[in-house]
Amino acid sequence: PIIGLGDGLSYLQAFALELLPVKLMSRDNLASMKVDNVSDAPFPFGIEPAAIEGTAPLWFGDATPRGRYIGFRRHAGRSV
């Protein structure tokens, strides 16, 4: 489960995690998470944003050798 912590406990947790050999989180990371990192400005160069739900299947859909073969057949205009 995810448990929400207040500012004090979050700071204490970040400090404790900072002391570990592998820094999982630092107080600086905590401060960065409190600031919005999204811009309200329009996209430059006419870029149109797309929902990840619509584009991610295109990245991972035919990643198998069989899927690539089917893609080649489609591109060549052959039946699948």
Structure confidence by residue, pLDDT tens digits, 38-74: 888 888 888 888 888 877 777 776 667 888 888 888 8
Query: For residues 61 and 19, which has the higher predicted lDDT (pLDDT)?
Result: 19
pLDDT at 57 (0 to 100): 73
The answer on pLDDT for 8 being more than 90 is yes
Rounded Cα distance, 15 and 73, in Å:
56
Rounded Cα distance, 49 and 56, in Å:
13
Do the Cβ atoms of 17 and 23 come closer than 8 Å? Answer: yes
Tokens in use for 5?
A: 């912590």
pLDDT at 56 (0 to 100): 78
Rounded Cα distance, 70 and 64, in Å:
10
The answer on pLDDT for 17 being more than 90 is yes
